[in-house]
Structure 1
Amino acid sequence: MLSLYVDLAIGLILSFLLLSLLVSGINEGIVRLLAIRSKFLWAYLRDTMDGSSNGRAWLPAKIRDVFTALPFLHDPRPKHSDQPSPVESTMPAHESVADDAMTKLLYERVREIDHPKTGKTSISNIPPARFAVALMELAATDPNGVEGWLAKLKAMKSPLYGHLMGVWEGAQRDLDRFRQGVETWFDGEMQRLSMLYKRYVKWVMAALGLVVTLLFSMDGLEYSKTLLRDNGLRTGVAAVAAGDPATVNELKAKCTENVQLTDCLTETLSSPALVKIFDNAIMHITIPADGDPSINWNGGVWWDRLTTLSHWPGYLLTYVALLFGAPFWWDLFRRITGLKSRR
């Protein structure tokens, strides 16, 4: 009896793991297609180094605005350049917010790690140490050193001035401590930006989880019953093989007429419950014994299941399970099966 519940748990965990991986894969494809990570980074850098444009921040504060602004309305990334970093970057004498001069200067110092993507930079991560070195290279262009460079930032009304001035004073005007302070400050800012990005991804994953659940019409409760029946059927087959003919009539009842019992059992055993979770999807994949697999439209069956209220508690169970994410289900699967992770 214990093995029955273990099989049920493993079957449910594996099904939730596969669907969670599908959700994660779709999300990753959307993120890469729309370059969301890179847009998050450069929107933050524009706000931090040059300030907002016309009172509007490049990086929206609300998740609702992020969904509409960053993917579609505007692209905060600089244009891609295949040239190496210049020997020296010159600070502008006068700068307006629309010019984004500081962001462009920063890109000049880090564009060696860039590669083109639709004409815009694809840089989505700048290590804190590289960012600190880039700012030190910019500060070295001023004959008065860091203090003269900070004075220019103040005259340009760059928001970066307030952050760096505090770091400079805390470093007691020591260049090495100032570089380390900038690195620590930028690392903290990247952690804050990552929290905002995770909030964005959380809502995307929730929406994708709902779409996947409904498209596959995955009823978690019904699937649990299917797993138990599948296990019972295989137990019956084992009993017949062991010489217990009392179960033959019960197995025949599961097969259609004019079909031999051996053929029916072969078809049943070759289609475990895990495969059957895709039978009710809007697109049905058929893998015949002979011939090539085919993809068929299954809209009628799918719509009937979707409009049947008795399935919705199972849909809710599946949806909540997908919200835990693939790492959670993989860890649970590994613990139950005893698999050891390789680090």
Structure 2
Amino acid sequence: MISVYVDLAIGLVLAFLLLSLLVSGLNEAIVRLLAIRSKFLWAYLRDTLDGGRGKGLSWIPSRVRDVFARLPFSKHDPRPVHDPDPAPSVVEPVPVDPEVVLAAEAPAPTVDMTRRLYERLQEIDRPEGARTSISDIPPERFSWALLELVAAEEGGVEGLIAKLEAVRSPLAGHLRGVWEAAQRDMGRFRKGVEDWFDGEMQRLSLLYRRYVKWVVFTLAVALTLLFSMDSLEYGKTLLRDNAYRAAVTAIAGGGESTAELKDSLKDRCAVAGSVEPYSCVTEVFSSPALVKIFDHAVMSVTIPAEESGGPSFTFNVGAWWDRLTTVGHWPGYLITIFALLFGASFWWDILRRLTGFRGSRSG
């Protein structure tokens, strides 16, 4: 009896794992196609270095529909234009005289600090389009890039901070805090910038996951309904499948006659009295419950037994819609959606625990 429930658990976990992998694959395809990770990063950098100006993180709304509508498809792509040339060997200082700007109380001049930072990071860029593909900046690399900008200023860190304050860059406040905490020591300042940026990237990762989870939820709902995956019904199918196979095993051991075999498989195979039952047994064993997990999808695929025949595709729109609108299936749909939110890594770990599988370790 215990083995029956273990088989049931393994079957359900394997089904959830397959669907979770499909959800993860589609999510990764969308993220790569729309370069969402890179856009999140450079939106944050524009917000931090240049104050947003309508293009940084501040323009990313919180509503789900706006995340889809504005972040991936916006005309105002926050990423700098890709430059295939190496970084300039000579760093130009910030073209701002803070004393003149502050004395005249003029509007802050426009200085594209994001572009200046990108010039120091061009070596880690890859030519994948008109815009940069950088989606991750190591904190150590960021701190050295910032020090290169500091080295170009006559006043060093103080000079750069003064110019950033003149152009009203939010980065000025962060750098001043790190500079004061480092007690004006350049080595400690570099380490402080590295630690500060590492903390910012962790915060940005949390923000990114908060938005992406809605994408995962949407994909989980769409795939569950598309494949009409009722977990409760699938569990019952697994139990029936195990019972059929146990009956066939008992018959093979000589416990039942051919007539009893026909009776035990009557409902499953609809065997007529004049039909050889063993062909039906072959069909039962070649079509386990796991293979039928997608039988109720909008389009099903059937592979014929003949070697010469190819797969056939059948549209089941009518039956799929009737199944979808049947209230009795909704609890199973909700369980499937909830299970897929745990992710493929979670179900893979559960499957390894149930089967006792251990990956190979390099010694």
Query: Structure 1-normalised TM-score?
Result: 0.95
Q: Which amino acid aligns with 2:122?
A: R
CA distance in 1 between counterparts of 2:236 and 2:183 reads 69
Closer, same or farther: CA 5–267 of 1 in aligned 2, 3 Å: same
Displacement of 1:274: 0.5
CA distance in 2 between counterparts of 1:168 and 1:215 reads 56
CA distance in 2 between counterparts of 1:270 and 1:325 reads 29
CA distance in 2 between counterparts of 1:198 and 1:100 reads 31
**Partner of residue 118, structure 1:** 129
Closer, same or farther: CA 281–227 of 1 in aligned 2, 3 Å: same
* Structure 1: 5+ residue stretches without partners: none
* 2:312 paired residue among 294, 298, 304: 294
**Partner of residue 268, structure 2:** 254
| Count, aligned residues | 343
CA distance in 2 between counterparts of 1:341 and 1:142 reads 54
**Partner of residue 16, structure 2:** 16
**Partner of residue 292, structure 2:** 276
Alignment of 1:1-343 (within 5 A): 1-53=1-53, 57-60=57-60, 62-64=62-64, 65-73=66-74, 74-94=76-96, 101-245=112-256, 247-248=260-261, 249-257=263-271, 259-290=275-306, 291-342=309-360
Q: Which amino acid aligns with 1:152?
A: K
Question: What do residues 212-269 of structure 1 show as CA deviations (whole Å, max 9, x unaligned)?
Answer: 0000000101101100000000001001101122541222342235553111111111
CA distance in 1 between counterparts of 2:253 and 2:57 reads 73
Q: Which amino acid aligns with 2:91?
A: S
CA distance in 2 between counterparts of 1:317 and 1:13 reads 12
Displacement of 1:54: 5.1
Displacement of 1:284: 0.5
**Partner of residue 101, structure 2:** none
Question: What do residues 124-144 of structure 1 show as CA deviations (whole Å, max 9, x unaligned)?
Answer: 000000000000000000122
Given that residues 46 and 58 in structure 1 are in contact (C-alpha distance below 8 angstroms), is that contact kept between their aligned partners in structure 2? no
Displacement of 1:316: 1.1
SS at match of 1:331: helix
CA distance in 1 between counterparts of 2:239 and 2:300 reads 23
Given that residues 40 and 57 in structure 2 are in contact (C-alpha distance below 8 angstroms), is that contact kept between their aligned partners in structure 1? no
CA distance in 1 between counterparts of 2:108 and 2:254 reads 85
CA distance in 2 between counterparts of 1:214 and 1:165 reads 53
Displacement of 1:342: 4.8
Displacement of 1:206: 0.7
SS at match of 1:195: helix
Displacement of 1:319: 1.0
Q: Which amino acid aligns with 1:76?
A: P
* Structure 2: 5+ residue stretches without partners: 98-106
CA distance in 2 between counterparts of 1:271 and 1:219 reads 19
Q: Which amino acid aligns with 2:266?
A: K
Given that residues 120 and 145 in structure 2 are in contact (C-alpha distance below 8 angstroms), is that contact kept between their aligned partners in structure 1? yes
Closer, same or farther: CA 289–54 of 1 in aligned 2, 3 Å: closer
Given that residues 56 and 78 in structure 2 are in contact (C-alpha distance below 8 angstroms), is that contact kept between their aligned partners in structure 1? no
Q: Which amino acid aligns with 2:284?
A: T
Q: Which amino acid aligns with 1:82?
A: P
CA distance in 2 between counterparts of 1:58 and 1:165 reads 22
Displacement of 1:89: 2.2
Query: Structure 2-normalised TM-score?
Result: 0.90
Displacement of 1:152: 1.2
Given that residues 283 and 295 in structure 1 are in contact (C-alpha distance below 8 angstroms), is that contact kept between their aligned partners in structure 2? yes
Q: Which amino acid aligns with 1:2?
A: I
Displacement of 1:145: 1.4
Displacement of 1:328: 1.1
Given that residues 271 and 280 in structure 2 are in contact (C-alpha distance below 8 angstroms), is that contact kept between their aligned partners in structure 1? no
Closer, same or farther: CA 54–325 of 1 in aligned 2, 3 Å: closer
Closer, same or farther: CA 206–163 of 1 in aligned 2, 3 Å: same
Given that residues 20 and 325 in structure 1 are in contact (C-alpha distance below 8 angstroms), is that contact kept between their aligned partners in structure 2? yes
Percent identical = 61
Given that residues 63 and 200 in structure 1 are in contact (C-alpha distance below 8 angstroms), is that contact kept between their aligned partners in structure 2? no
Closer, same or farther: CA 161–181 of 1 in aligned 2, 3 Å: same
Closer, same or farther: CA 283–178 of 1 in aligned 2, 3 Å: same
Displacement of 1:57: 4.7
CA distance in 1 between counterparts of 2:3 and 2:271 reads 33
Q: Which amino acid aligns with 1:167?
A: V
What root-mean-square deviation, in Å, do the aligned CA atoms of Structure 1 and Structure 2 show?
1.9
